[in-house]
Amino acid sequence: MANFVLVHGAWHGGWCWQRVQRPLAREGHRVHAVTLTGVGERAHLLSSAITLETHIADVAGVIEAEELHDVVLAVHSYAGMIGTAIADRMGGRLRHLVYVDAVVPRPGESWSSTHSRAVREARLAGAEGTDDYSLAAPDPNNYGLEGEDYAWVKRRLTAHPGHTYEATLDFDPQRVASVPRTFVNCVRPALPTIDAIRPRMADPQFWGGAWRGGAGAQVVELATGHDPMVTLPAELAQLLLRCA
């Protein structure tokens, strides 16, 4: 039996993993879909006090409270920041770290570091105009969603805590690289704010060479958009099972 901890990206919630949770649980595994503070069913907690460290503590708290070891930690999009921090601080509790079309930062970078100036300025201006310094949810057509999938995601997306956007993360790449890693590259359509991350996965010098080293890294491509847990849940579940 494996322990899966699934962490959604910005504007989402633990709900987005429903279609992946079921096949994992059917195989007899323990599955925890974390909802980060201030979003999803925890949207009532949204405030300007929420930071990246709040969200790191959310995930670390699940691992600690559930006494989980040999964890397959799957992190989507923005949550790549969180997964990197958990691998740095709690790497001994992880079996595999799966970046699902996610941010893979360099030390000292933020979620916003690889975004265009126009995107950064628009998001920060939007946050400044809110009482709780939050980022408004985008239209899910950015994720390549259509029909019932589009409607299902659109009605569930919530504003996201804005102080997570420019928060930087310091970590030791060698320590993170001691955990086996997979990057799930979602390319149909590719989300522009992840485009700057994709070349890093093929760069032998990324993390000073540590990405290619350590316990090993692989890239797996899925022919779908940014939310594969919605559009290709069976395929993503099988990928996670292989990582276990």
Q: For residues 160 and 154, what is the distance between their CA atoms, to the nearest angstrom?
A: 14
Whether the ω angle into residue 189 lies within 30 degrees of 0, i.e. cis, is: yes
DSSP assignment of 58-87 equals HHHHHHHHTT--SEEEEEEGGGHHHHHHHH
Q: For residues 174 and 150, what is the distance between their CA atoms, to the nearest angstrom?
A: 39
Q: What tokens were used for 109?
A: 């970078």
236 within 8 A of 100, measured Cβ to Cβ: yes
Please say if 77 is a catalytic residue: yes
Q: For residues 49 and 94, what is the distance between their CA atoms, to the nearest angstrom?
A: 29
Q: Which of 47, 48, 77, 112 is catalytic?
A: 77
The catalytic residue positions are: 77
